[in-house]
Amino acid sequence: MSNNPWQRALSQLQKTLELTDTHPDLHHRLKEPDNVVEVNVPVTMDSGETKTFRGYRVQHNNMRGPYKGGLRFHPQVDLDEAKALAFWMTMKNAVIGVPFGGGKGGIEVDPKELSGGELERLTRNFARELAHVIGPEKDVPAPDVGSTAQMMHWIADEYSKHVGEDAPAVVTGKPVEHGGSEGRTEATGYGGGYALEAILVKLGKETGTVAIQGFGNVGLYFAHYAASRGFKIVALSDSKGGIYAPEGIDVSAAETYKKGTGTLLGCAGTDISNEEILALPVDILVPAALENAITKENASHVQAKVILELANGPTTIEADDVLKERGIVVIPDILANAGGVAVSYFEWEQNRAGERWAKDDVLARLKEKMEMAAAKVWNESIEKNITLRDAAYVVALRSLGEVKQG
């Protein structure tokens, strides 16, 4: 089986269809994205030369509402990856119960290599290229790996110029002062924490030691939440490598250290690699970086009892089989990291109603949504004696099937 994310998405779809009684038409609708938009984005660099970047927007499905999903700014963005990520958004939005379909996009660029001005011109030009296919009722992008709240504001600004009126609901994940929601920045990490606690209760487990691969938006806020709830964070890593300190890591100190030095290396305990972090003797392993982190090769070395997939697609299909055989519980991405899109939905609602909700209110609503979704997925897995991943897809497909029949 290839690790091509789109092939994995299709094989998961096929597997889920065999577990449900959904209509074959639904399979046909879901096995290809509705639309794929590819654009070339020219940008005047600071040097005066013009460079062209390749961008995508995949609109997978809108049966439950406007296409919804992030824009990734990364050197390895490609179309099959974007198709898979868009498919996962369709499924995730159905599991968490927000009235959105699935979309995803991105641009092939290493944002760290661009100046602030170049990044702004690139983002604004990308927004202009996409302006005819996005919109508050059509397709609502959000941040993802390599993109930020500020970039979402630039997109909303360009789109508003395009339609001739203020249209903040065209994107979510904006800065709070530009129509963003309180709590959106923390939402995916905190939401993962709420889902983890809900599943641990079902498993009869409590807190434990945690290793987190990926210390960006998602990994950082998950670490803060987990630490505040009594979990012991013993390992952290980012693209440059990580640290392991069995006595526990002070998350705020690690955050400050990384801000100052650009790395986690040398911050506490022992330096480790991104491969080593996956095999540590911990209770909970949290992949929060990129796809295909847990593979057939390293799955047999995982010592954690529970894996919380905060990244999208961090476990290959073969690795999933190994983990299942070894009795390791995987809380699947389409449940675990749905907190981001849940609060994106709250942001979209606030923009459309002209409201501003307090952070406590947003987080309370998020917790409720995550716990409801976790309970649904758990119950399905017990009823059918299937993994939480298969159960999450069954819940999603059933929800999509209901729309089709209605």
Of 145 and 268, the one with the shorter C-beta distance to ligand NAD is 145
Of 90 and 213, the one with the shorter C-beta distance to ligand NAD is 213
Of 188 and 381, the one with the shorter C-beta distance to ligand NAD is 188
Distance in Å, CB of 345 to ligand NAD, minimum: 12
Of 193 and 340, the one with the shorter C-beta distance to ligand NAD is 340
Contacts within 8 Å (CB) and 24+ apart, 108-115: 108/53, 108/54, 108/55, 108/74, 108/75, 108/76, 108/77, 108/78, 109/53, 109/73, 109/74, 109/75, 109/146, 110/74, 110/75, 110/146, 111/73, 111/146, 111/147, 115/46
Distance in Å, CB of 298 to ligand NAD, minimum: 12
Which sign, positive or negative, has the C-alpha torsion 117, 119, 123, 125? positive
Of 158 and 186, the one with the shorter C-beta distance to ligand NAD is 186
Question: Which residues are annotated as catalytic?
Answer: 104
Of 12 and 188, the one with the shorter C-beta distance to ligand NAD is 188
Query: Which residue is closest to ligand NAD by CB?
Result: 216
Distance between CA atoms of residues 128 and 225, nearest Å? 37
Distance in Å, CB of 267 to ligand NAD, minimum: 13
Distance in Å, CB of 291 to ligand NAD, minimum: 7
The C-alpha angle 40, 45, 46, rounded to 5 degrees, equals 165
Of 22 and 147, the one with the shorter C-beta distance to ligand NAD is 147
Q: Which CA distances in Å does 368 have to 188, 356, 364? A: 14, 19, 6
Which sign, positive or negative, has the C-alpha torsion 122, 36, 168, 144? negative
Binding site for ligand NAD (CB under 6 A): 143-146, 188, 213-219, 237-239, 274, 288-290, 310-312, 337, 340
DSSP string, 123-166: HHHHHHHHTTT-BTTTEEEEE-TT--HHHHHHHHHHHHHHHTS-
Distance in Å, CB of 75 to ligand NAD, minimum: 11
Distance in Å, CB of 145 to ligand NAD, minimum: 4
Distance in Å, CB of 164 to ligand NAD, minimum: 30
DSSP string, 253-310: HHHHHHHHHS--TTSSSEEE-TTGGGGSS-SEEEE-S-TT-B-HHHHTT---SEEE--
Burial class (CB in 10 A: 0-12, 13-18, 19+), 177: exposed
Distance between CA atoms of residues 165 and 168, nearest Å? 9
